[in-house]
Amino acid sequence: MTPPDDAPRFNSAAARDIEYALHPYTNHKAFRETGPLIIDHGEGVRVFDDAGRSYIESVAGLWCASLGFANQRLADAAYAQMKKLPFYHAFGGRSHDPLIDLSEMLIQRAPLSAGDRPFSKVFFANSGSEANDSAIKMIWFYNNAIGRPAKKKIIGRIRGYHGITVASGSATGQPVNHKMFDLPIAGFHHVSCPHHYGYGLPGESEEDFATRMAQELEDLILREGPDTVAAFFAEPIQGAGGVILPPATYFEKVQAVLKRHDVLLVADEVICGFGRTGRYWGSQTFEMRPDILTCAKQLSSAFLPISAVMISEQLYQGIAQGSDAAGTWGHGFTYSGHPVPAAVAIETLKIYDELDLPNLVATRGAYLQKAMRARFADHPLVGEVRGTGMIGAIELVADKTTRAKFDATRKLGARWQALGQEHGVMMRVMLGEIAAVSPPLVISESEIDEMLDGMHRALEALGAEI
Ligand code: PMP
């Protein structure tokens, strides 16, 4: 039945959304025409819109809802903590049990840091951006404290994503986050994206490509002067940049360069942390030994905002020394270690332990990777299917042999995403035509099949359209 001509285009909630809300990452002009998709509730790996339509979330929201979209234990943990102590801060040495317990649990579960040593201390923030901004300020403070005030430059990577605040947004290597924002600020540099499929030379092996990438990093450090370069930021797998897995030997070679020039390594585990890559940490999957590790998202299964920065003993010693010289370490958020999200994070980590997270993501991840490749690898529109553990991507190409991309103005990725929605899958198609696959970690094998079948039917529909 077609609606009458004078029927309002949007229901009341949608009209009010258009009227009052400024959405993140949105083309605000186009949005006035399309209006919002209003999500009403969640259940397991699915969310439901306000018309009752159900969607499997193929990216766990924004790579974060690891335990899905309903969990009584997490709700109870938040409620119990709210009743006991709804807020207290941690400035000047004040503390509370959720902050203490969560700090201990994170250090106990952390991967090895630089020099094969355990991480030493945890600092809390509210988002991935804040965690990375905090890491940058820790590094600057540390180098001031130990008497190397010139060693401050930060190196990120093209297509890397570390957040959108001024410093983390500068470390991010995506044009859309820089253009018209006057970013990056001075002192931030970027090296190439290590995507072998996308940027490897004809006939170049992964190992040779990794050597070239590490050489580019070393050349940059030498050009800038090693005494001025403080740290290198890297996601174990670049997530928002298109799910880019490091080529074989990449982090081994990169870490050798960093060590030679005394440049710190920050592992941004905001997406990779807590099982995404098939091990507990991406740093374990790719044998990274970071000086600093940032995490967020799956730390609380996204039920409440919380992020963390773990630092090595070496960093801690420098910061402790500097705080004494300065009178205090003048950094921290009102909500650093807020008891309610901390209580939810504690319960989340307990659930991960009970699920035997590394085992779960290794076996379920193996199923996901196989199922993705079985459906998509030979598809005429698909260039590369990649991933490991519970993270992957399907990248479309106009020509499978030359790997030529589609003309961006055709917006085929956005169309695939819209068709996915029609087939009951909430998709995230990034940077043109790369569909991320990063469902809740608790997705079952039959739900993986259902999700991939929906994405496949949507791709067939797209193929028929073009
Ligand atoms: N780092 C990485 C690797 C991320 O993927 C993100 C967000 N997608 C961030 C940092 C920023 O996190 P937030 O949006 O919570 O600030």
Encode pLDDT of 178-196 as tens digits: 999 999 999 999 999 999 9
396 CB burial (10 A radius; 0-12, 13-18, 19+): buried
What is the three-class DSSP state of 20?
A: helix
Please report, as a single letter, which amino acid is at residue 420. G
- pLDDT over 80 (residue 1): no
Decide whether any atom of ligand 1 lies within 6 Å of the 240 Cβ.
Answer: yes
Closest residue by Cα to atom 5, ligand 1, is: 271
Element (H, E) at 416: helix 412-422
Residue 144 to residue 139: CA distance in whole angstroms: 9
Decide whether any atom of ligand 1 lies within 6 Å of the 296 Cβ.
Answer: yes
Decide whether any atom of ligand 1 lies within 6 Å of the 452 Cβ.
Answer: no
The pair of structure tokens assigned to 412 is 């085929």
Decide whether any atom of ligand 1 lies within 6 Å of the 129 Cβ.
Answer: yes
Distance 146 CA to ligand 1 centre (A): 30
Distance 231 CA to ligand 1 centre (A): 18
> Which of 31, 51, 55 shows the shortest CA–CA distance to 42?
55
Residue 353 to residue 214: CA distance in whole angstroms: 36
Helix axes 250-260, 206-224, angle to 10 degrees: 20
CB–CB of 323/144 below 8 Å?
A: no
Q: What is the mean pLDDT of residues 235-240?
A: 98
Question: Which tens digit of pLDDT belongs to each residue from 329-354?
Answer: 999 999 999 999 999 999 999 999 99
Question: Which tens digit of pLDDT belongs to each residue from 270-279?
Answer: 999 999 999 9
Q: In what order do the strands lie in the sheet with 382-388?
A: 382-388, 391-396, 434-437, 429-430
Question: For position 2, what pLDDT does the model report?
Answer: 62
Residue 277 to residue 267: CA distance in whole angstroms: 14
Question: For position 6, what pLDDT does the model report?
Answer: 72
Decide whether any atom of ligand 1 lies within 6 Å of the 268 Cβ.
Answer: yes
For the CA of 160, the nearest atom of ligand 1: 3
Decide whether any atom of ligand 1 lies within 6 Å of the 233 Cβ.
Answer: no
For the CA of 240, the nearest atom of ligand 1: 5
CB–CB of 398/412 below 8 Å?
A: no
What is the residue-averaged pLDDT of the chain? 97
423 contacts: CB under 8 Å, gap ≥ 6: 454, 455, 457, 458, 461
Instruction: Provide the CATH topology of domain 76-355.
Output: Aspartate Aminotransferase; domain 2 (3.40.640)
Question: Which tens digit of pLDDT belongs to each residue from 132-179?
Answer: 999 999 999 999 999 999 999 999 999 999 999 999 999 999 999 999
- pLDDT over 80 (residue 7): no
- DSSP string of 126-161, one letter each residue: SSHHHHHHHHHHHHHHHHHHTT-TT--EEEEETT--
Write out the CATH class of domain 37-70+358-465.
alpha beta
CA 75 to chain centre: 24
* Annotated domain spans of the chain: 37-70+358-465, 76-355
Question: For position 3, what pLDDT does the model report?
Answer: 62
Question: Which tens digit of pLDDT belongs to each residue from 282-324?
Answer: 999 999 999 999 999 999 999 999 999 999 999 999 999 999 9
Question: Which tens digit of pLDDT belongs to each residue from 351-405?
Answer: 999 999 999 999 999 999 999 999 999 999 999 999 999 999 999 999 999 999 9
- pLDDT over 60 (residue 81): yes
SS (H, E, C) 312-333: CHHHHHHHHHHHHHHCCCCCCC
Question: For position 240, what pLDDT does the model report?
Answer: 98
How far, in Å, are 133, 299, 325, 338, 341 from residue 90 at the CA level?
19, 19, 21, 8, 14
CB–CB of 250/194 below 8 Å?
A: yes
Residue 276 to residue 353: CA distance in whole angstroms: 15
Q: What is the mean pLDDT of residues 225-245?
A: 98
Could you report the predicted ipTM of this complex, rounded to two decimals? Answer: 1.00
Decide whether any atom of ligand 1 lies within 6 Å of the 105 Cβ.
Answer: no
Q: Cα Rg for the chain, rounded, in angstroms? A: 23
Residue 129 to residue 172: CA distance in whole angstroms: 10
Question: Which tens digit of pLDDT belongs to each residue from 45-63?
Answer: 999 999 999 999 999 999 9
Question: For position 432, what pLDDT does the model report?
Answer: 82
Question: Which tens digit of pLDDT belongs to each residue from 405-426?
Answer: 999 999 999 999 999 999 999 9
Residue 218 to residue 212: CA distance in whole angstroms: 10
Closest residue by Cα to atom 10, ligand 1, is: 162
CB–CB of 277/388 below 8 Å?
A: yes
